[in-house]
């Protein structure tokens, strides 16, 4: 039970929660989104594992349940 809870918390932390320290400044010569200054990112986005912030619903539909 504890492994499943730890795995769920890791997935939530890395895929669904954005972190201010990982954001990218959008202002400057490559500013293609007027009005937005920062792109919010998750640890998984910073590591190049995904290109979007996942919703909890998407996470539940994508990650298979494990037998522990």
Give the tens place of pLDDT for each residue, 4-48: 778 888 999 999 999 989 988 877 665 565 666 788 999 999 999
Residue listed under structure tokens 């990982």: 22
Parse the chain into domains and list their residue ranges.
Answer: 2-62
What one-character-per-residue DSSP string does 1-68 give?
-HHHHHHHHHHIIIII---GGG-EE--STT--STT--EE---HHHHTTS-SSPPPHHHHHHHSPP---
Q: Do the beta carbons of residue 42 and residue 53 sit within 8 Å? A: yes
pLDDT interval class at 58 (50, 70, 90): very high
């Amino acid at each position: 039970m504890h492994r499943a809870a730890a795995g769920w918390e890791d997935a939530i932390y890395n895929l669904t929660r954005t972190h201010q320290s990982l954001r990218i400044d959008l202002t400057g010569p490559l500013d293609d989104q007027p009005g937005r200054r920062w792109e919010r990112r998750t640890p998984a986005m910073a590591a190049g594992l995904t290109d979007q912030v996942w919703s909890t619903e998407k996470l539940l539909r994508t990650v298979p349940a494990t037998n522990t």
